[in-house]
């Protein structure tokens, strides 16, 4: 990157380090941090939407819809989440390919599962065998996002379902007394008031989502864990102009600090948000704020 980096073997100390830390692969490493942030930015709203739909379904008066919502909430309890991550990525991939297979190749007569193989016709492959490398990467990342959204959507649904029940019943009855329909009470009375009850659960969920991002590695994405392992490993002078020993420990220490910083920043911001939301609310938190002022 810098002009003095042409022959690293002559350098020493900090100059060597500054060259080492700005090599092409290291730039990919830094880029993968944005992958993590991107995943967070995409997953959080999608999971919240999934959760909202799940909580709405669980509240429905029509029994099958309510079962569906409650089943969705219940499914992630009792089973290790990483099993879900490993399961959904393959399962979703196969569901997509199978659906396309049925639509695109209706005259295919062999079974899809042959022994240990899952075989669909060429046109149904996702992404198509001929597509460029970035398509494959985007598809894998997309699958990861959907998986995260499904799993975290279930957690969010649980939180929102509880928050909706925590809104005082009298509020809803007042809405009904004013002649509002069910839908109007839901959107105008329930939804605006539930957030203060949902926020502690949702902020907990956000912390968990941050801590779940290294699992991207298990889904086959070239994320920070992948790069830390790659870059940290022993390098001999045969393959690189920056030979070094096994430095994986230091790379993972950097990741550890990155996550601790993320947690600290989130804690501070969410604390402020909570203070704002409780302002003037009829909760013990709101009461404490009123007394302090």
Partner 1 sequence: MSCIETIQSYAFRSLGFGERLLPRSDFTLCEQVTLIGSGMIWNIYFGVFALLTGFFMATALAVAKASPRAALRKPAEWFIFLFRGSPLFIQFFFAYFLFLSLKSSYPFFGNFTAAWLGALIVLFLNTAAYSAEIFYGALQSIPKGDTEAADAYGMSGWPRFRRIVWPTMLRLAWPAYTNEAIFLFHATTLVFFSGFPAWQQRGDALYYASYFADKTFNPFVPYPILAGYFILLTLVIVSLFGLVNRHLNRHLPANTRPRFKMRMNLIR
- Site residues (CB under 8 A) for partner 1? 76-83, 86-87, 90-91, 94, 113, 116-118, 155, 158, 204, 208, 210-215, 217-218, 225, 228-229, 232, 246, 248-249, 252-253, 255-256, 259-260, 263-264
CB closer to partner 1, 64 vs 78: 78
Q: Is the omega angle on the peptide bond into residue 25 within 30 degrees of 0, that is, cis? A: no
What per-residue string of b and e applies to 222-247 under the rule 16 or more CB within 10 Å gives b? Answer: bbbbbbbeebbeebeeeeeebebeee
> Considering the complex, what minimum distance in angstroms separates the CB of residue 214 from partner 1?
4
CB closer to partner 1, 82 vs 288: 82
281 sits in the region (left: phi over 0; alpha: psi -120 to 50; else beta) called beta
> Considering the complex, what minimum distance in angstroms separates the CB of residue 127 from partner 1?
18
In whole angstroms, give the CA distance from residue 111 to residue 120: 9
> Considering the complex, what minimum distance in angstroms separates the CB of residue 246 from partner 1?
6
CB closer to partner 1, 8 vs 100: 100
> Considering the complex, what minimum distance in angstroms separates the CB of residue 14 from partner 1?
22
In whole angstroms, give the CA distance from residue 288 to residue 277: 13
3-state helix, strand, coil in the chain (%, to 5): 75, 0, 25
CB closer to partner 1, 172 vs 225: 225
CB closer to partner 1, 11 vs 92: 92
């Amino acid at each position: 990157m810098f002009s003095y980096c042409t022959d690293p073997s002559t350098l020493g100390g900090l100059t060597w380090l500054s060259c080492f830390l700005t090599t092409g692969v290291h730039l990919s490493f830094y880029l993968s941090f944005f992958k993590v942030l991107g995943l967070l930015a995409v997953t959080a709203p999608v999971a919240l939407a999934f959760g909202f739909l799940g909580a709405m379904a669980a509240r429905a008066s029509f029994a099958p819809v309510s079962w569906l919502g409650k089943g969705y909430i219940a499914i992630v309890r009792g089973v290790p989440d990483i099993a879900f991550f490993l399961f959904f990525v393959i399962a979703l991939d196969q569901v997509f390919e199978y659906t396309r297979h049925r639509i695109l190749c209706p005259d295919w007569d062999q079974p899809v599962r042959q022994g240990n193989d899952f075989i669909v016709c060429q046109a149904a492959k996702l992404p198509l065998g001929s597509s460029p490398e970035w398509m494959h990467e985007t598809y894998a990342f997309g699958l990861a996002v959907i998986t995260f959204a499904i799993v975290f959507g279930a957690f969010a649904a649980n939180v929102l379902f509880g928050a909706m029940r925590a809104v005082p019943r009298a509020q809803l009855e007042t809405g009904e007394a004013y002649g509002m329909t069910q839908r109007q009470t839901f959107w105008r009375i329930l939804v605006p008031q539930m957030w203060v009850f949902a926020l502690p659960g949702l902020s907990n969920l956000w912390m968990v989502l941050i801590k779940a991002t290294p699992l991207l590695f298990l889904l086959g994405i070239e994320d920070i864990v992948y790069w830390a392992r790659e870059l940290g490993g022993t390098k001999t002078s045969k393959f690189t102009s920056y030979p070094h020993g096994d430095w994986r420990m230091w790379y993972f220490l950097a990741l550890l600090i990155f996550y601790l910083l993320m947690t600290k920043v989130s804690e501070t911001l969410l604390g402020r948000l909570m203070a704002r939301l409780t302002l003037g609310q009829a909760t013990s938190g709101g009461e404490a704020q009123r007394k302090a002022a």
